[in-house]
Structure 1
Amino acid sequence: MNDVIDDLLAKLDLAAKVRLISGSGVFRFAGDTGIGLAEMPVSDGPTGVRGELWDERDPSVSLPSGTALAATWDRALLGRIGGLIAAEARRKDVYAVLGPTMNLHRSPLGGRHFECFSEDPMLTAEIAAAYVDAVQAHGVSACPKHYVANDSETERFTADVIADERTLRELYLYPFERAVQAGTWMIMDSYNSVNGTTMTENALLDEPLKGEWGYDGVVVSDWTAVRSTGGAAKGTDIAMPGPWELWGAPLVEAVRTGEVPESAIDDKVRRILRFAIRVGALNGTPQQPPAFTDEAAQHLVREAAAQAMVLATNDGTLPLGKPAQVALLGAAAAEPRFMGGGSATVIPAHTTSPLEGLSAVLPVQYTPGVHLNDHMIAVPLALVTDPETGAPGLSLRYLDGDKVLDTEHRTAGGLMLFGNANAMVAKSFELRGTLRVDTAGEWRIGFAGVGKLRLDIDGETVLTETVMPDGADPVEMLLNPPQRWVTRTLAEGDELDVLIELAPVLDSGLPAMGLTFAVGRPRRAADEEFAAAVELARTSEVAVVVVGTTEQIESEGFDRKDLRLPGRQDELVAAVAAVNPRTIVVVNSGSPVEMPWRDDVAAVLLTWFPGQEFGSALADVLTGAAEPGGRLPTTWPKALTDVPVVDTKPAADNSLPYTEGIHIGYRAWLKSGVAPAYPFGHGLGYTTWELSDVTVTGHTATVTVRNTGDRTGRQVVQAYLSRPGSAVDRPVRWLSGFDLVEAAAGETVTATIDLPERSFQHWTDQGWVVEPGAFTLHIGTSVADLPLTAQIA
């Protein structure tokens, strides 16, 4: 391969080489027809493959969030998920999927907590390695991100993480090291600085990544993270998006003047050509993974969502039998969160809500009980007709003054224009549809967007306003733009012609990012709705309350302010539990929330952001058709005040010191001596287990596992190490390995747990070393439930 690469490199002049190390578009790597190098589209991909554009006409499979996938502790399942991701990538002509997100759950307030796997570096590393191996087995590149220590969102472009080398090596770098061992072809570096240097120019890209670890792939910048022309002499290989102005003509000049050595550019191009050969973009044909039918994809996502759900508590109410009536409550039951906000967002062809899923198998009566906020929703397709075609949907016109550049029929009320070729040249946009009212009452009709906006109803202008973003982060502007509306009292069957015009504010530098035709349905007054829910619970055999966060709480672009559920959700659960002892609470959040009522309800099921098949998977778990297979990949606190590591906000000098060192997550909880609500690794199923007979041979432990219940189940057998009296600062215990077993009722199986050498090592100035003497091995089913021990010399 190297000879081929050298021959191709020799055919490129300096300008051509510089073109290749900067993207040719928002989500596209540059090509060169002279050497047979195709342009290579890439796509965001932590929870599905969106493609180059945000377009509902080319939908994507919506997978469970990163934390949900880690909650399965299932390497084999990740292998199957990887096949689906690769198939989706090829279907969308994508060469690389920008994921997985491998940053750690350092603080539960982290805005992208849901997108990341775990608070533990070893679990993160194992799940990430399985993901990388599975995707790349089909000729599509994975792209682990964000290298490194991008563990919170507050001032993420300028934050400077201060961490000692041992902390970096043992925690934050280790998952990336395992991804390199798994053979990843691409890694994305991060926005933040580490120890004073922005990551796109940080020495950590040389050592340990490209040096000690021998990484021969491409390092791509996070979008807009390249800060200087001279930085091209450092370890980032491709500046995105492109063409990146700092790496165009200024870089050619910097090489010619000697500021940047041409050898640095050559190394980047070699890596890009090697990458292109691997993905079939250089005089080759990309590998074609086995295709997934829609039915097969839905089945896999449904299975993964159920395997990820963590049954935190259960008094025996679950699984449900055949109740006469189920009171389904909570706003999230009808309008749940399938995924988190930000670059992990995809547009699925369909979704299944808890209301839809449970109504298909149980006698359900629904009312929300609470209103979480005043935000409108994108107008549902069933309520709007394109006046141009008469089909369900909307008409979108791209305008240059009075000239119509293009007209599209769109099938979603919320449109993302970011990266759209028409949107990049249009001076304004018109979104129009005929709204059909299906419920009498007071409706809110309006828009969400940034720029000069106008709302017309039945030909009359009813609202004009120049709307600017609430925050500075472009992702927040894209996915959570400000909303404006008017109210109208309408009768069922009324029809209104609605037109929304958007023109970017040219002198602001803000392009057209998106435009939403938004509505708010009539709803009961808050107290009346609350009382109706409590009464429904009182007269029902079982109450299922779905609680959760909102897009304004968990998303890329900002960190959380607290761990409380928004609105009156806590109050609703407490009131329902007071009138119905068989109250089941389903928690639809990507990361931990406070649950002050957790000891007063019959069961608590944590579902994360479970992807498009949420409702069907939830029905499977609640009825017992599937077991809740998840185990916690992160500690759930009783209250934020108990959390030992919280800070996400840099100081005035932009520094964010990681003063806790190697003690994050359950390690910090064990050190503090405070008991959480639910410990790391915890999770119940619908059967019972007995562990016995630990045998250790070298660095492999075997455990006898017996299913002592009356139905088939699965269990995650976990192994932790400790070193009492160590001369080294260590966690009280730390995860060393795990194995997932399945057994029928009464069956005995063997769990085999490999304990990697690295789990015995610690980092010193001389490198990795093992402290002489014995380690204690602890075996059990969570970090707090470890009945078996053995000594390892």
Structure 2
Amino acid sequence: MPSASRSSRVEALLDQMTLEEQVSVLAGSNMWNTVPNERLGIPKLRVSDGPAGVRGSRFDGPASMNIPCSTAIAASWDMALVREIGELLGRELEAKGARVHLAPTVNLHRTPVGGRNFECMSEDPLLTALTALEYVKGVQSHGVASCIKHLVGNDTEFERMTIDSQIDERTLREMYLYPFERSVKDADVMSIMTSYNRINGPYAADSEWLLQSVVRDEWGFDGAFISDWYGLHSTAEGVNAGLDLEMPGPTLHRGQKLIDAVNNGDVSADVVRTRARNVLHLMERTGALDAPPGPEGSRDDAQDHATLRRASAAGMVLLQNNNAVLPLVPTGIKTIAVLGPNASTATVMGGGSAHVTPTRVSHPLDALMNRLQPLGISVEHSAGCNINKKLPELDIRNLRDVHMDYFNDVEQMDNPSAVPDMAGTTGVFRLLWTGDPLGRREPNISFGARMSAVFTPHVSGEWSFSLESVAASRIIIDGAIVLDNADVPSGGSFFGMGKPETIIKIALEAEREYSFVVEVRHTPIGSGLSGLTIGAMGPIDHDQLGEAIDLAARSDVSVIVVGTNDDWESEGWDRETIDLPGKQDILIHEVAKVSKRTIVVINAGSPVAMPWLNEVDAVLFTWFAGQEMGDALVDVLLGDVEPSGRLPVTMPRRMEDTPAAEHHPGRNGVAKYLEGRLIGYRWYDTIGREPQFPFGFGLGYADVLVTDAASSGTHMVTTTLQNTSQRDGVQVVQVYAHLVNRDGLSNDEPFQRLVGWSRVVVPAGASVNAVVKLDRDAYRTWDIEASSWTQWSGDVELRVGTSSRHMTHFLSISV
């Protein structure tokens, strides 16, 4: 596979291309493809969104394997497993006929309320960097490309399209750029996506310092820079800065505008050739020059499903286990109460562009029933409360015979005998059409869409249904129009282009079958984007909280599954608080008063407050654990799998106790990163603030201790671990470096920083020796005055432990 930036094949193509043809490959043709060149036999290149999986070119297209969110993956601290996940994604990319996977996301968790934190890996640059590069190596081992994102400073959603992230260079270099640097240098990542925001003035896509001086010239990047979707704001500036591919298409800033810029002398023809070279080079490396995008399909591979289940369990973090209440021993349990709003329908992924349609979803309640009821254990459920920011998505479990029909002309929908121009089905009811679903190449055209099904309520009473849509839409039940939002003004959904949620209530009878139809009539709005969300919720005509408390009181064990969902944690907005939404805290408080054993499962993508912590027996943090979450959760609860996840972020007690609280979200169009390098544990450890749970923390059922440690040179620590338990265990040995002499250090110099770790399996009753290799950049720091990298010098304390706050050994070395 060619790896040099200049190949004879690409140069020969460039020599044959006119200026207009070179310009044509520098922007997309539609949302997910580049412009082909029939004269020269250059196919189009297809890209696919991530990182929850590999969606393909349609939000309602063939199902995809839904992996755990990136924070959950990092929580495994298991780089071999991360490589496996990457390889699985490479296979998924091939199944979708695509060549570039728009992932991983390596922005840092600067604040716990960032809307896309679940897409990101950690608050720590080293953990993020090493996780990301294994992810990239796995994906690219299949001859396809990762597109690491978002370069750089896109750490929250507040005013993300225009905010100026003002970050000093040392903080940029040591923290926010570091994961990108390592993926370039160590994984040869083939593409990088620029962020929406400005970075110290210019938009990221217009920053020559960032794209050319740092990433290409210093790091040696020879791949392609791709704009975030609609994230390019210029013609000459972006091309001259180094932005290769504008997405999506049709182009807004290139095409004839770029040709004119060349003719006017604002851009040189050589620069256009260089940009075209980078795009064609990416296509050559991924095989896209040899064949057009393939068909899109789904994969059903038992081994990959098993990998997803292992990965889901591996990221789960046991935070508390008083009196060894876990693992659950079925003997002696007659009734288990499964409570909480996320018990019957877990949140397996966050919201926004990362969304995929899973090949299947295992939910906690179903998984517990499947495992425990055959043992004679009664599994009973009550939600206790709901956390709906909006009505939840229509549940496929209430439907059968789902049809999705598309029409070229919206007027066809008024003709009962009209034959749809395309017919299919769907398993999701949050639909985003980023182009014409019928595949017509003309921009900004009309189409009609009709979803029809048989709807069977599982409970009688007043049901609520809702629509959010870009175009006029309506719900028809048994032939009667019950909701029509044609007159609702736009604003409030689908990136501001859609109509806000409109709700209707209608009485329905349980187990009766109803004809259920939703129609969308899309007319041109200027962007080519359309979308539809169908919401539905059954009646709540009883005291949910009281029901849950009563159930807990008469059960032997209560498992409360709480958390957030993809309305609370999503691309497009940040959370306002780390409190659990709704009345979940009250639910936990009240259940804990009456329950014999109370186990709290937190199904969220980011930290949450835990004011009830001292009242419950066990706490297990699952994150958004992907489609295998339910079965993986039961594996951990029953002890079939040892809890081995460790926190990749700090769990704060309250929002005020977070590093960027004073400066987030930004003011007057500027986000000032005044905390500098003190984010996450670096801030807590430096100022002495006590977190709820520290970075790197996690318990197991086995008791594995670090009994000895010694340094071997400057970049290796040898350790001895002992398992005093009767079951195999896992420990993640972590090493932090502390510069002893603090004289003259800046105020944002961290007290300590992670420099290496080793995930060690220790058999029951055994002792093992393990080596922790410290990262090559363990002592590297950015010299502001010299504007270059330098190394620490002097006495360094290597702090060995099992979290940033739980140290077992302190080793003195000199560097």
TM-score tier after normalising by the smaller chain length: over 0.9
Q: Relative to structure 2, which stretch is displaced further, 652-661 or 188-197?
A: 652-661
Q: Measure, in 2, the Cα distance between the counterparts of 1:163 and 1:446.
A: 42
Partner of 1:579: 594
The change in CA–CA distance for 1:76 and 1:287 in structure 2 (over 3 A counts) is farther
One-letter amino acid matched to 1:207 = S
Following superposition of structure 1 onto structure 2, how do residues 329-408 of structure 1 map, counting pairs within 5 Å?
A: 329-362=339-372, 363=377, 364-373=379-388, 375-385=390-400, 391-393=401-403, 395=405, 397=407, 399-402=409-412, 406-408=421-423
Partner of 1:733: 752
Give the C-alpha shift of residue 632 in structure 1. Answer: 0.3
Q: Measure, in 1, the Cα distance between the counterparts of 2:659 and 2:354.
A: 28
The change in CA–CA distance for 1:592 and 1:43 in structure 2 (over 3 A counts) is same
Give the C-alpha shift of residue 399 in structure 1. Answer: 3.4
Following superposition of structure 1 onto structure 2, how do residues 232-251 of structure 1 map, counting pairs within 5 Å?
A: 232-251=239-258
Count residues in correspondence: 779
Give the C-alpha shift of residue 366 in structure 1. Answer: 0.7
Partner of 2:569: 554
Q: Measure, in 2, the Cα distance between the counterparts of 1:277 and 1:284.
A: 10
The change in CA–CA distance for 1:522 and 1:661 in structure 2 (over 3 A counts) is same
Partner of 1:514: 531
Q: Measure, in 2, the Cα distance between the counterparts of 1:297 and 1:655.
A: 44
One-letter amino acid matched to 2:127 = L
Partner of 1:311: 318
One-letter amino acid matched to 1:276 = M
Query: Are 2:732 and 1:716 equivalent residues in the alignment?
Result: yes
Q: Measure, in 2, the Cα distance between the counterparts of 1:499 and 1:179.
A: 48
SS in 1 for 2:516: strand
One-letter amino acid matched to 1:91 = A
SS in 1 for 2:453: strand
**Contact kept? 1:110, 1:648, Cα under 8 Å:** no
Q: Measure, in 1, the Cα distance between the counterparts of 2:663 and 2:13.
A: 46
Q: Relative to structure 2, which stretch is displaced further, 694-703 or 200-209?
A: 694-703
Q: Measure, in 1, the Cα distance between the counterparts of 2:532 and 2:675.
A: 43
Query: Are 2:474 and 1:458 equivalent residues in the alignment?
Result: no
One-letter amino acid matched to 2:336 = V
CA offset digits 1:452-508 (Å, max 9, x no partner)? 23333333333333334543762x768xx73323222222233333333333465x5
Could you tell me the percent identity over the aligned residues? 38
Q: Relative to structure 2, which stretch is displaced further, 80-89 or 748-757?
A: 748-757
Give the C-alpha shift of residue 135 in structure 1. Answer: 1.0
The change in CA–CA distance for 1:543 and 1:493 in structure 2 (over 3 A counts) is closer
Partner of 2:215: 209
1:46 corresponds, among 39, 43, 51, to 51
Give the C-alpha shift of residue 734 in structure 1. Answer: 0.4
Give the C-alpha shift of residue 138 in structure 1. Answer: 1.3
SS in 2 for 1:269: helix
TM-score by length of 2: 0.92
CA offset digits 1:612-666 (Å, max 9, x no partner)? 0110000000000011221000000111122222257554531111111111111
**Contact kept? 2:46, 2:293, Cα under 8 Å:** no
Give the C-alpha shift of residue 356 in structure 1. Answer: 0.8
Q: Measure, in 1, the Cα distance between the counterparts of 2:466 and 2:202.
A: 45
CA offset digits 1:437-459 (Å, max 9, x no partner)? 33222222343323323333333
**Contact kept? 2:436, 2:447, Cα under 8 Å:** no
One-letter amino acid matched to 2:520 = L
Q: Measure, in 1, the Cα distance between the counterparts of 2:389 and 2:235.
A: 46
2:289 corresponds, among 282, 285, 289, to 282
Partner of 1:388: none
Give the C-alpha shift of residue 172 in structure 1. Answer: 0.6
**Contact kept? 2:43, 2:292, Cα under 8 Å:** no
Query: Are 2:435 and 1:430 equivalent residues in the alignment?
Result: no
Give the C-alpha shift of residue 256 in structure 1. Answer: 1.2
Q: Measure, in 1, the Cα distance between the counterparts of 2:490 and 2:111.
A: 27
One-letter amino acid matched to 1:449 = S
Q: Measure, in 2, the Cα distance between the counterparts of 1:534 and 1:398.
A: 54
Query: Are 2:521 and 1:503 equivalent residues in the alignment?
Result: yes
Q: Measure, in 2, the Cα distance between the counterparts of 1:334 and 1:198.
A: 44
The change in CA–CA distance for 1:285 and 1:200 in structure 2 (over 3 A counts) is closer
**Contact kept? 1:450, 1:468, Cα under 8 Å:** no
Following superposition of structure 1 onto structure 2, how do residues 94-105 of structure 1 map, counting pairs within 5 Å?
A: 94-105=98-109
The change in CA–CA distance for 1:742 and 1:66 in structure 2 (over 3 A counts) is same
SS in 2 for 1:143: strand
Q: Relative to structure 2, which stretch is displaced further, 728-737 or 751-760?
A: 751-760
Give the C-alpha shift of residue 739 in structure 1. Answer: 0.9
Q: Measure, in 2, the Cα distance between the counterparts of 1:219 and 1:305.
A: 32
Query: Are 2:168 and 1:164 equivalent residues in the alignment?
Result: yes
**Contact kept? 1:332, 1:547, Cα under 8 Å:** yes
Q: Measure, in 1, the Cα distance between the counterparts of 2:723 and 2:436.
A: 55
Q: Measure, in 2, the Cα distance between the counterparts of 1:382 and 1:559.
A: 30
Query: Are 2:34 and 1:29 equivalent residues in the alignment?
Result: yes
Q: Relative to structure 2, which stretch is displaced further, 601-610 or 292-301?
A: 292-301
**Contact kept? 1:379, 1:412, Cα under 8 Å:** no
Q: Measure, in 2, the Cα distance between the counterparts of 1:257 and 1:413.
A: 49
Q: Measure, in 2, the Cα distance between the counterparts of 1:135 and 1:763.
A: 31
Q: Measure, in 2, the Cα distance between the counterparts of 1:598 and 1:652.
A: 35
2:227 corresponds, among 221, 225, 228, to 221
**Contact kept? 1:338, 1:609, Cα under 8 Å:** yes
CA offset digits 1:524-572 (Å, max 9, x no partner)? 33xx121111011011111000001132211011111111111110000
CA offset digits 1:276-319 (Å, max 9, x no partner)? 2211122379999xx97432121111100100000001011000
Q: Measure, in 1, the Cα distance between the counterparts of 2:705 and 2:504.
A: 62
1:646 corresponds, among 661, 665, 683, to 661
Q: Measure, in 2, the Cα distance between the counterparts of 1:477 and 1:590.
A: 27
CA offset digits 1:175-222 (Å, max 9, x no partner)? 111000111011111000111110001121112100011111101010
The change in CA–CA distance for 1:281 and 1:464 in structure 2 (over 3 A counts) is closer
Name stretches of at least 5 consecutive residues in structure 1 with no aligned partner. Answer: 386-390
Query: Are 2:705 and 1:690 equivalent residues in the alignment?
Result: yes
The change in CA–CA distance for 1:516 and 1:153 in structure 2 (over 3 A counts) is closer
**Contact kept? 1:140, 1:279, Cα under 8 Å:** yes
Query: Are 2:541 and 1:537 equivalent residues in the alignment?
Result: no
Q: Relative to structure 2, which stretch is displaced further, 637-646 or 710-719?
A: 637-646
The change in CA–CA distance for 1:398 and 1:435 in structure 2 (over 3 A counts) is farther
Query: Are 2:676 and 1:661 equivalent residues in the alignment?
Result: yes
Q: Relative to structure 2, which stretch is displaced further, 425-434 or 42-51?
A: 425-434
**Contact kept? 2:68, 2:624, Cα under 8 Å:** yes
The change in CA–CA distance for 1:603 and 1:321 in structure 2 (over 3 A counts) is same
**Contact kept? 1:107, 1:648, Cα under 8 Å:** no
Give the C-alpha shift of residue 228 in structure 1. Answer: 0.9
One-letter amino acid matched to 2:624 = F
2:112 corresponds, among 79, 102, 108, to 108
CA offset digits 1:391-413 (Å, max 9, x no partner)? 34555555332375524232335
Give the C-alpha shift of residue 790 in structure 1. Answer: 1.1
**Contact kept? 1:19, 1:243, Cα under 8 Å:** no
Partner of 2:797: 776
Q: Relative to structure 2, which stretch is displaced further, 306-315 or 431-440?
A: 431-440
Q: Measure, in 2, the Cα distance between the counterparts of 1:110 and 1:517.
A: 26
The change in CA–CA distance for 1:281 and 1:370 in structure 2 (over 3 A counts) is same
The change in CA–CA distance for 1:367 and 1:779 in structure 2 (over 3 A counts) is same
**Contact kept? 1:455, 1:463, Cα under 8 Å:** yes
The change in CA–CA distance for 1:584 and 1:556 in structure 2 (over 3 A counts) is same
Q: Measure, in 2, the Cα distance between the counterparts of 1:413 and 1:246.
A: 34
TM-score by length of 1: 0.94
One-letter amino acid matched to 1:249 = Q
CA offset digits 1:53-87 (Å, max 9, x no partner)? 1125x000000001000000111001111110000
Q: Measure, in 1, the Cα distance between the counterparts of 2:665 and 2:600.
A: 36
